[in-house]
Structure 1
Amino acid sequence: MNLGRKIITAVPVGFAADGTVDLRASRRILRFVAGSGVDGAFVLGTTGEFPSLDRAERRALLDAYVEELGDLPMVVHVGAASAHEVLGLIEDARACGVRSVAAITPYYLPTTDAAVLSFFERISGAAGGMDVYAYIFARATGVVVGDDLLARISRLPNLYGAKVSGEPIIRLDGYRAVVPDDFVLLTGADSDLAVVPEHGGAGVISGVASAFPEPFIRLAAALADGDEPAVAAAQQQVDDVVELIAASPARMKATLRMRGVDAGHCRMALEPPSEAVLARLRRAVEAYA
């Protein structure tokens, strides 16, 4: 793996046109990810439209993930609005042999630092033998995790790291200063792969890499080689595809279809790409894939 610059793909879920889970499409996506050369996979998260999935659907998808991803390191998102739901999802993950899980902070209703800490204390207590990542995404959840709160969460048993989404990379600086040295920080800011070590991070969790892994892999390789012209060229490619995908699972799936992977549809209310966007995606596939 790339020390300090891990590329972890946030994997979409394939749905049928009627909204039911399409396990065949999901398995096709997983096979593409498994063979793409990235360092790991983050599944059943935001890119996977997790709020729309029930427990049985998550369990069926888990079985597919374990089978299709093989030896590729995997973090399974078990987040839900309540600790009660999360504990059930942890049981399912354990039954599938999963060793690393992530849980987003509580969401929808307003909460307090004390309640968020209690939420993670319950998760910590149920996750013996697993590594747990706290998933922080204030823009989506309305829950802001300050430095002091993450410092307390990071010292709970089994808490291994945090995924930080929707924040500039400099936000990791404050977290890095207060968490244990071995606590892993990952950013959801796809474009920041090159600079993440400067801010105490270990890598990126990237939905864009599910459709365009190559620019990220080129960038990591160029950085490792110290090839500055190659770094600049690869960074431009990463910036282009990140801007074009715009964090949209619908655009990720459209790109995968262009690449010969029938990735199915989206379940949530996501706008499909326009003809102009599709044309740009085709040009990017031709140029960068």
Structure 2
Amino acid sequence: MMFKGTGVALVTPFKKDQSVDFEALEKLVDFTIDGGVDFLVALGTTAETPTLTKAEKLDVLNCIIKHNQKRKPIVLGLGANNTQELLAGLNEYPMQEVDGILSVVPYYNKPSQEGIFQHFSALAEATDKPIILYNVPGRTVTNMLPATALRLANAFPHIVAIKEASGNMAQCMELVQGAPAHFAVLSGDDNLIVPQLSIGFKGVISVAANSYPKDFCAMVNAGLQEDFVTARNLHYKLLKGIDLLFAEGNPTGVKYVLHKLGLLENVLRLPLIPASETLSQQLDQYLNS
């Protein structure tokens, strides 16, 4: 299982003219790897992927692959609410250069549980790459129930994990308890990872690891080693900072922090906008505390 510990959902830096800033992206890859992340996630939601053109997506992925130089496994975010479009995406990227796929539950059109099963079954039948399912009902509207996720895991050995972002701890426990040996349950909620590690999660795909990689990775590693005194202390050190990152949408807070750290411009693409003056002041206070 190469997808355990801390994965970072990388943001896409933009220049002031709104073009992709590849130099800043390379700096971010180094910053997160130096901070201790275990794997990189390219073109997730945090990357503002809906606002990127097809050419930009390919260029972003290739930049990450080239600069990573195989230091860490790379997961490609590849999701759609049109199954045929998802399958076509397998032919649009250098799949031989990535180590896995992160694929979100189809959004907006609200499929049934059977529809979700057939959607991911079609993906699994079309590729032999390891697949991480992504359940985030706050964004997709539809909640993939544990029974569906576990049915997929048992049907396809290369469905190796789920990024679970329901925030429902009872649902989380059901996933862990029923998971086959090859299937890892990963967190999609940065502020819940310590209690989730205590119930058997194997790691996290994190937004906050862009901004606070050293403390965040240390917290996750402590939890995986069942050192919950250390993990809890780091959790409460980071909790306010994590909550502020999401206060005005993602990656609004992350880009502000990374700008303050000198890594990239504080530029987002509409409909997302930079942090308000109030949030900027709150983040400044946290960073200086």
Q: Which of the five TM-score ranges fits, normalised by the shorter chain?
A: 0.7 to 0.9
1:232-243 maps to which residues of 2 (within 5 A)? 232-243=232-243
| Contact 1:160-1:183 within 8 A present in 2 as well | yes
Aligned residue among 261, 272, 275 for 1:273:
275
Kept in 1: contact 2:10–2:47 (CA 8 A): yes
1:57 and 2:56 matched: yes
Any conservation in 1 of the 2:29–2:67 contact (CA below 8 Å)? yes
Q: RMSD of the TM alignment (CA)?
A: 2.5
Given the two structures, how large is their TM-score scaled by the length of structure 1? 0.88
- Corresponding position of 1:90: 90
* Matched length: 284
Q: Which residue of 1 is the match for residue 42 of structure 2?
A: 43
In 1, Cα distance between equivalents of 2:220 and 2:169: 17
The answer to which of 201-210 and 265-274 deviates more is 265-274
CA spacing shift, 1:217–1:97, aligned 2, 3 Å:
closer
Do the aligned residues in 2 keep the contact of 1:250 with 1:271 (CA within 8 Å)? yes
**1:212 counterpart letter in structure 2:** Y
Alignment of 1:240-279 (within 5 A): 240-246=240-246, 248-263=250-265, 265-279=267-281
After the TM superposition, which of the residue ranges 134-143 and 77-86 deviates more from structure 2?
77-86
Q: Which deviates more from structure 2 when the two are superposed, residues 20-29 or residues 63-72? A: 20-29
The answer on 1:204 being equivalent to 2:204 is: yes
Greater shift in the superposed pair: 232-241 or 276-285: 276-285
SS of the residue aligned with 1:155?
Answer: helix
CA distance in 1, matches of 2:73, 2:190: 19
Distance 1:41 1:169 in 2: 26
| Deviation of the 1:197 alpha carbon | 2.9
Worse-superposed segment, 36-45 or 213-222: 213-222
Q: What amino acid is aligned across from residue 261 of structure 2 in structure 1? A: R
* Separation of aligned partners in 2, 1:103 and 1:4: 14
Q: Deviations over 1:55-102 (max 9, x none)?
A: 322211110111222311221111122222222332344445112111
State whether residues 169 and 189 of structure 1, in contact with CA within 8 Å, keep that contact through their aligned partners in structure 2.
Answer: no
How much identity, in percent, do the aligned residues show? 22
Q: Counterpart of 1:282 in 2: which secondary structure?
A: helix
Counterpart of 1:103 in structure 2 is 103
* Residue 176 (structure 1) aligns with: 176
1:102-145 deviation per Cα after TM superposition (whole angstroms, max 9, x unaligned) = 111111213222222121111101211x1001111111112221
The one-letter code of the counterpart of 2:110 is P
Map of 1:147 onto structure 2: 146
Q: Distance in 2 between matches of 1:264 and 1:210?
A: 14
Hey, what's the Cα distance between the residues in 2 that align with 1:57 and 1:115? Answer: 31
Which residue identity lines up with residue 191 of structure 1 in the other structure?
N
**Is this contact kept in 1: 2:78–2:86, CA < 8 A?**
yes
> Which residue in the other structure is 1:12 paired with?
11
Gaps of 5+ in 2: none
User: Residue 72 and residue 285 in structure 1: after superposition, are their counterparts in 2 closer, same or farther (change >3 A)?
Assistant: farther
Q: TM-score, normalised by structure 2?
A: 0.88
Matches of 2:169 and 2:40, distance apart in 1 = 21
Q: Distance in 1 between matches of 2:51 and 2:178?
A: 34
Q: 1:23 to 1:146 in 2, by over 3 A?
A: same
Distance in 1 separating the partners of 2:15 and 2:256: 14
Q: Distance in 1 between matches of 2:3 and 2:10?
A: 21
8 Å contact kept, 1:34–1:68: no
For 1:130-174, what per-residue CA distance to the aligned partner results, in whole angstroms no more than 9, with x for missing partners? 100111111111222112211222123321111111423442111
Between stretches 252-261 and 18-27, larger displacement belongs to 18-27
Q: Residue 35 of structure 1 aligns to a residue in which SS? A: helix
Secondary structure, counterpart of 2:40 in structure 1: strand
Alpha-carbon contact 2:46-2:251 (below 8 Å) kept: yes
Query: What amino acid maps onto 1:162 in structure 2?
Result: I
Partner of 1:161 in structure 2? 161
